[in-house]
Structure 1
Amino acid sequence: MSFDWNQHAVAADFFKFENPGDNIAGTITAITTQSWPDGKVDPQLHLHTDDGHEIAVTCGQIQLKTKLVSAAPNVGDHVSLTHTHSENRAGGKTLKHFDVQVTPAGGAVQPQAAPAPAPAAPPTPAPASAAQPAAQQDPWAGQPAAPAAPAAPADGLAEQVRKLAGSGFSDQQIADFLKIDVAQVAAAKA
């Protein structure tokens, strides 16, 4: 069994999206995860930036994470991540919006999916039968209750699960990342 050095990749610096217009672009050298004390796990991209620096970008912002899951970039792909604007939400929270562009190694740009219109009020949980990925819920509202029985995953969710599994993430990491039950991950992979 070979050792996975990507799990221990360390970048020389970290990038934080603070203001609209903040942008980072570069080639992905590793994709790891960042675990937090509360048990939350976020993906972390290690980039060789266009200006020659080694930078780590922790993708914990829900909008950024959702768009990256949709694009499913791989090591060797070029990404451009831009904080476009911020939206004030209920409870003093702020939702940061992002533009995500991925150019596969040796390929054409993959445009991001069209963003869903922002709701005026905090989203209400969908009924269990809707099989909507919980990753679209407010990540600060707490963990959603696990369904009594795993629902059949929606096609989009199944595709996200397959892409993440193909990138080497474990079922538990995928479940944590998408905020779904591990049983739903297994059902989506079947």
Structure 2
Amino acid sequence: MTEKITEPVIDSNDTASIGPDPSLLIVDDDGPFLRRLARAMETRGFVVEIAESVAEGIARAKTKPPKHAVIDLRLGDGSGLDVIEAIRARRDDTRIIMLTGYGNIATAVNAVKLGAIDYLAKPADADEIFSALVQKSGERAELPENPMSADRVRWEHIQRVYEMCERNVSETARRLNMHRRTLQRILAKRAPK
């Protein structure tokens, strides 16, 4: 059975909020998610280019820096932060959204320092991503319905100390007064809800 492909339905409100340059680069190593998100963004009026690695993302950013970008933090060949740097080196008005399944405050701060305008935890849906991309400067994001759990706050603290220790597990474990193996298990898991 072949998949039926239909022409995207573009809402004029969506294209008006995108602006005159609809270029969008999506960098993610999760192929099915990448293609679904690309299709969803095309239906909203973006002209989408995709990349499945840091190297491919940097190459696309060098040849044609986009006005909008959605970049996964952890990719198979490195960090999405490198793609942000490559985009910022060529274009300073790009609206960049950082996506990650391993969200923590320290990497969010790094992403914002490098030029990301927002940071969304996976699984983020196309509507959330679209809203973040077209949000006007100075607009406040809606408050989350569910605040962070105590487990998440603990995990965030551990991640912050880990980043401060330059990702040195032994030093982080010493500062947190925690066994090294326990820390390694915590770091290997996804963020709690």
The TM-score normalised by the length of structure 1 is 0.28
Q: Comparing both structures, which one devotes a greater share of its residues to strand?
A: 1
Q: Comparing both structures, which one devotes a greater share of its residues to helix?
A: 2
Asked which structure has the greater CA Rg, the reply is 2
